[in-house]
Amino acid sequence: MSQLDFDYVIIGSGFGGSVSALRLSEKGYKVLVIEKGKWFTGKDFPKTNWNLRKWLWQPNMKLFGFFKMTFLNHVTVLSGVGVGGGSLTYANTLPIPKTNFFTSGSWANLNNWEEALKLHYEMAYKMLGSAINPSFFEADETLRKLAKDIEKETSFEATNVAVYFGEAGRTVDDPYFGGKGPDRTGCVFCGGCMTGCRYNAKNTLDKNYLYLAQQLDAEILAEKEVMDVTVLGSKNGTDGYKIDFISSIGKKEKGSINAKGVIFSGGVVGTVPLLLKLKNKSLPNLSEMVGCSIRTNNESLMLVTSTNKNFKDFSKGIAIGSILQTSENSHLEPVRYGEGSAFFRTLTIPVIFSKYALLRLLGVLFLFLKFPLKLLKTIFAKNYAKRTTVLLFMQTVDSTIRLKLGKITKMKTVSEMGTTPSGIIPEAFDLSKKYGKIVNGIPFGNFVDVLLGTPTTAHILGGAVMGEDSSKGVIDKHNRVFGYQNMFVCDGSMISANPGVNPSLTITAITEYAMSKIPNKTIK
């Protein structure tokens, strides 16, 4: 160990990486977290998502924000980049999946997961500062009206979220960790959760797991992207690993670190392509299952803009303040952006339900002929964020795709199991039309999704799933990578079934479980 720089290097600082950093530090290990994105504080976040330089992560265009869009042939992926990973831009919601999640997929027979993870879900709630949303606003009340219209009013409820509510705008000493954490400020319900909380109310990972890990001497190296991981000595990694990285911003400076162990925590669009690259290069023992069993959470995102003259403000509240269970396998959530955040209007066109691209395109043209005034009011609406609700629909119906390295593009996907994911789900389309009827609006979707029939998801999962052995998964039930010692995957790519709900809490809980299986460091 005297020749190694760290006990563990963690690649990525999202929910899995942050949990790993704290728990390993508590066990006495010397930990380094490598994050390709930047550090952000409240003043660094943009007021609206029109400030692309501060909001979008697109390095080749000199945009170094925290929100990333990845366009693949079967799905458009929304993800977070920066210290704190997806927590910087996610919608705060913390649901526990239904029983079917724990008893299906490649991990189903490896454990009694619902029971094994129970205490770890409770710990995740505590660490993330879970609280029930105390206030409903216009988007929530409209969803409640929709619930009544479809006779599901008893299935409407407030969300459980990672937000400090307290007294709006009032700063208090750490309310969560007995004074060991940072000061917090009560939520002002500005709707800006997903463009970065500028008011210190959102419980992002840099305010809990990462903050506490740093108090235990964990180090965080930002603006660096890992390019290679090679074994030192023994071919199975017993002697440790060399991690090579390069600056992700500015001058491309290279560096390397030696460590006993490695934890991949870069999310599906970070971890999976890196593992595929390493399997072809420096880590040939990785399972052939790398890139398999990727799920989109069977998700649909549609935007509905009110064209009423005397509209009410849909931007007030937290990102997702309510949820409606629309059937046994599906639910609907109203999502909001803060006042002025209207960038997404440039990426959307009306949604037409058809499996044929030509008919969808003709349907859009027909809508312009049938409702020209309403569509023009939508496209050129002033106060777009105040008028618009993003309807997030998810279901537990399972299907998978496979991610591969592309020859022309960096990544490509192929169909694998079940129906190819679609952004135009009949139930979602029907609900969005009913919501639109209430607010006098027409459902819009990502233009790529409408033209190609693909979904947009903020919850891409899988690609390094659990299995009984390397023929059925990339990792075992304790998140250990088959074929290598002291190597783990702890992020959304480890999710081995379709949760059908926002997955951040589950990623946190499973990583808590995995870290609990690693013994304390022994001093020789």
Average pLDDT of the segment spanning 128-152: 97
Interatomic CA distance for residues 127 and 203, integer angstroms = 9
Would you say 86 and 493 are in contact if contact means Cβ atoms under 8 Å apart?
Answer: no
**Which pLDDT score, from 0 to 100, does residue 524 have?**
65
Phi first, then psi: give them for residue 68, nearest 5 degrees. -120, 140
Interatomic CA distance for residues 440 and 272, integer angstroms = 42
**Which pLDDT score, from 0 to 100, does residue 416 have?**
83
Average pLDDT of the segment spanning 291-305: 92
Enumerate the CATH 3.50.50.60 domain ranges in the chain, comma separated. Answer: 6-39+82-129+203-294+460-516
Average pLDDT of the segment spanning 350-361: 82
Digit-coded pLDDT (tens) for 167-209: 999 999 999 999 999 999 999 999 999 999 999 999 999 999 9
Interatomic CA distance for residues 134 and 118, integer angstroms = 25
Give the chain's largest Cα–Cα span.
78
Digit-coded pLDDT (tens) for 458-476: 999 999 999 999 999 999 9
Q: What 3-state DSSP class applies to 100?
A: helix
Higher pLDDT: 99 or 359? It is 99
Alpha-carbon separation of residue 288 from 110, 210, 284, 403, 485 (angstroms): 20, 33, 10, 12, 18
Interatomic CA distance for residues 112 and 400, integer angstroms = 23
Interatomic CA distance for residues 203 and 128, integer angstroms = 6
Q: What does pLDDT average to over the chain?
A: 94
Tokens read off for 33: 């977290």
Which residues are tagged catalytic? 459
**Which stretch of 26-35, 72-81, 114-123, 238-247 has the lowest confidence by average pLDDT?**
72-81
Q: Looking at residue 365, what DSSP letter applies?
A: H
Residue 15 has pLDDT above 80, yes or no: yes
Residue 24 has pLDDT above 60, yes or no: yes
Confidence at 37, pLDDT banded by 50, 70, 90? very high
Average pLDDT of the segment spanning 354-379: 86
**Which stretch of 21-25, 270-274, 369-373, 465-469 has the lowest confidence by average pLDDT?**
369-373
**Which pLDDT score, from 0 to 100, does residue 1 have?**
43
Digit-coded pLDDT (tens) for 321-349: 999 999 988 999 999 999 999 999 999 98
Interatomic CA distance for residues 270 and 460, integer angstroms = 11
Q: What is the DSSP string of 449-514?
A: HHHH---EES--B-SS-B-SSTTT-SB-TTSBBTTSTTEEE-SGGG--S---S--HHHHHHHHHHH
Residue 115 has pLDDT above 70, yes or no: yes
Would you say 127 and 94 are in contact if contact means Cβ atoms under 8 Å apart?
Answer: no
Tokens read off for 239: 């002697």
**Which stretch of 56-70, 352-366, 458-472 has the lowest confidence by average pLDDT?**
352-366
Residue 488 has pLDDT above 90, yes or no: yes
Digit-coded pLDDT (tens) for 507-521: 999 999 999 999 999
Residue 35 has pLDDT above 70, yes or no: yes
Interatomic CA distance for residues 460 and 498, integer angstroms = 10
Q: What is 6-39+82-129+203-294+460-516's CATH number?
A: 3.50.50.60
166-172 long-range Cβ contacts below 8 angstroms, 24+ apart: 166/201, 169/199, 171/200
Average pLDDT of the segment spanning 356-371: 85
| Chain CA centroid to CA 307, Å | 31
Instruction: Look up the pTM and report it.
Output: 0.95
Q: Looking at residue 317, what DSSP letter applies?
A: B
Digit-coded pLDDT (tens) for 400-452: 899 998 877 788 888 888 777 777 788 999 999 999 999 999 999 888 888 88
Closest CA to 264 of 518, 474, 467: 474
Q: How many CB atoms lie within 10 A of CB 420?
A: 17
Would you say 198 and 45 are in contact if contact means Cβ atoms under 8 Å apart?
Answer: yes
Interatomic CA distance for residues 381 and 61, integer angstroms = 28
Digit-coded pLDDT (tens) for 301-326: 999 999 998 888 999 999 999 999 99
Cα separation of the two ends of the chain:
10
Average pLDDT of the segment spanning 244-258: 95
Would you say 169 and 208 are in contact if contact means Cβ atoms under 8 Å apart?
Answer: no
Average pLDDT of the segment spanning 206-230: 98
Tokens read off for 429: 């389309």
Backbone CA torsion sign across 56, 57, 58, 63: positive
Alpha-carbon separation of residue 34 from 440, 445, 484 (angstroms): 47, 35, 20
